[in-house]
Amino acid sequence: MKQLLENALQHAVDQLLKESGIEAGVHVRLTRPKQKEHGDYAANVAMPLAGCLDQPPREVAGRILAAVKWPDAVEDADIAGPGFINIRLKHASEAEVIKMVARQGDAYGRVEVSEDAEKVNLEFVSANPTGPMHVGHGRGAVVGDSLGRILTARGYSVHREYYINDAGAQIGVLASSLWKRVQQQAGISVELSDGEYPGEYLIEVARQLLEQYAFEDLNRMDHDRDVWPIIVDYAIEKMMAMIRNDLAALGIEFDHYFSEQTLHRSGKVAALIEQLKADDLIYLGTLPPPKGKEVKNYKPVEQWLFRTTGFGDDVDRPLAKKDGTPTYFAADIAYHVDKFERGFKRQIDIWGADHGGYVTRVQSAVKALTGLDGQPEVLLVQMVNLTRGGEQVKMSKRAGTFVTLREVVDEVGADAVRFNFMTRRIESQLDFDLEAAKQKSEENPVYYVQYAHARVCAILRKAEEEGVEAIEAELVNSSRLITDEEKSLVALMLSYPEVLDKAANRHEAYRVAIYLMDLARGLHGFYHKHRVISDDEELTQARLLLVTAVGQVLCNGLSMLGVSAPERM
């Protein structure tokens, strides 16, 4: 509908400009006014146009109105305020949305995936396989998963990937931590060193390892050549199993878990470095000491530096040590280039805010190597502060007092975790209160929305009990829906596809959550003011279809967030 109106207006505007011999293109954009006296849609084109044409805005608006050919659904349009064009739709045609929802069901709001759908690689979570995920990872996971669902609904071909950092120093630390736990299990007295992973989860892993291998056998083998690979592989496998399991508890799955190791083993990282040398994109140099931050034992060291400054970065970035040992950055580039080679020209990465400093350098490198501009599109998700009853939950990785994502999901439930993480823009830090998340009030909006859905179901059950049989949707007289509450629900449902579209285009999945809270509010308000089932048969049928449609849209929206839509609460 919005699109139709915009086209009609745009046509009139173009014509007007043509007549006046003005080249400048003015783009029509419609908004939904907050005040309903301002109509169903409003356009402000006359204002910017007034400047071009050197005429008062209201006069320009008049000329536009004279020239425009409205679609049938338009009741009337008038000029208001400083020069807004307010458009009113024939209400009956708006209310027909309830039939559209009935026809389309789960598909309402979605667009069909076409053959030539744009391929998008969506990388998220990518937590290091060195321990359990924390709530911060959870936020990224939920945001990424929901965005994936939304993009899919809006016709993109989405490929979900998890990048496993299973190479590098941290993996060595993980393995040595596990080895010590194994030794401890065997009764040998060793202490974890500073920096090794103290979490108890490794004790359990050590136990399992010893069920497969006798300690004596492990101890007899050559430590570096034979035992170490066993320990390393076992540790990574167990950590990833735990992570997948925890993600599954949130209803999150990936198409592909991409191993960093494979990039090294296949020689892609080494080849990348050679290529960069050949292209003169890297050079042996020394970086100045970082400013403002004390670096203990700073020593100027020669490294292979990537010329990212040529692509918009502040300083060149180290890619490998002098001896050629690659840094994680080299693997990271190889990974994104690999995505490109697999045909992904759109890459969306969801990272924690603490990785914000790496956006420019990765984009610079990707641009240098593939020519892609602004890829990957990185969404930085801000931190989560975990509180309980308003008190900060103290966490220390070192002390092992660490609240894991899994513990939080088990305590408050996946639906509450998911919805709460989606109610804020990713740019704002999020206070997640464990007590509030369990409470059943508007402070915990997930129940508010779910309750609205359950309430719809209750009405439909009641109708069935009373022997009221719903007639075919197309036969319903939707023009009976004339109260403010009904109109407001109709308008909200009409805007659902627009909300989804905006959420997809701007990568702002939280919009769906905010929308659902509005729709639920509309439903609750309607419920208290009007009865669905009454003696007026025609009205009953119209309202039954209305609430059925609301229930459907609530359900559709909740599915975008991976949250369930219960029929009873």
Interface positions, 351-390, toward RNA (CB under 7 A): 353-358, 380, 382-383
Q: Which long-range contacts (CB under 8 A, 24 or more apart) does 96-100 make?
A: 96/478, 97/490, 97/493, 97/494, 97/549, 98/473, 98/476, 98/478, 98/481, 98/490, 98/493, 98/542, 98/545, 98/546, 98/548, 98/549, 99/473, 99/474, 99/476, 99/478, 99/545
Q: Is 371 exposed, middle or buried (0-12, 13-18, 19+ CB in 10 A)?
A: exposed
Piece of 9-17, 108-116, 227-235, 460-468 that binds RNA (CB under 7 A) = 460-468
Pick from 150, 155, 159: which is nearest to 122 by CA? 159
- The pattern of x and - marking residues 229 through 268 that bind RNA according to CB under 7 A reads -------------------------------x--------
User: Does 52 help bind RNA (rule: CB under 7 A)?
Assistant: no
Is it true that the peptide bond before 376 is cis, omega within 30 degrees of 0? yes
**DSSP for 394-435?**
P-BTTTTB--BHHHHHHHH-HHHHHHHHHSS-TTS-EEEEHH
Token code pair at residue 256 = 């592909």
Residue 356 CB, shortest distance to RNA, in Å, is 5
507-546 positions binding RNA, by CB under 7 A: 508, 510-511, 514, 517, 521, 524-525, 527-533
Residue 268 CB, shortest distance to RNA, in Å, is 15
User: Does 155 help bind RNA (rule: CB under 7 A)?
Assistant: no
User: Does 462 help bind RNA (rule: CB under 7 A)?
Assistant: yes
Using the minimum distance from each CB to RNA, give the nearer residue, 419 or 527: 527
The secondary element (H helix, E strand) that includes residue 74 is strand 74-80
Q: How many residues bind RNA (CB under 7 A)?
A: 96
Using CA atoms of 334, 340, 345, 351 in order, give the dihedral in degrees to the nearest 10.
-30
271-300 positions binding RNA, by CB under 7 A: 286-287, 289-293, 295, 297-300
- The pattern of x and - marking residues 86 through 125 that bind RNA according to CB under 7 A reads x---------------------------------------
Q: Are 132 and 406 in contact (CB under 8 A)?
A: yes
**Nearest-angstrom CA–CA distance, 81 and 89:** 19
Judged by CB under 7 A, the residue of 8, 13, 44, 109 near RNA is 44
Residue 86 CB, shortest distance to RNA, in Å, is 5
59-88 positions binding RNA, by CB under 7 A: 80-82, 84, 86
User: Does 564 help bind RNA (rule: CB under 7 A)?
Assistant: no
162-181 positions binding RNA, by CB under 7 A: 165, 167-170
- The pattern of x and - marking residues 186 through 215 that bind RNA according to CB under 7 A reads ------------------------------
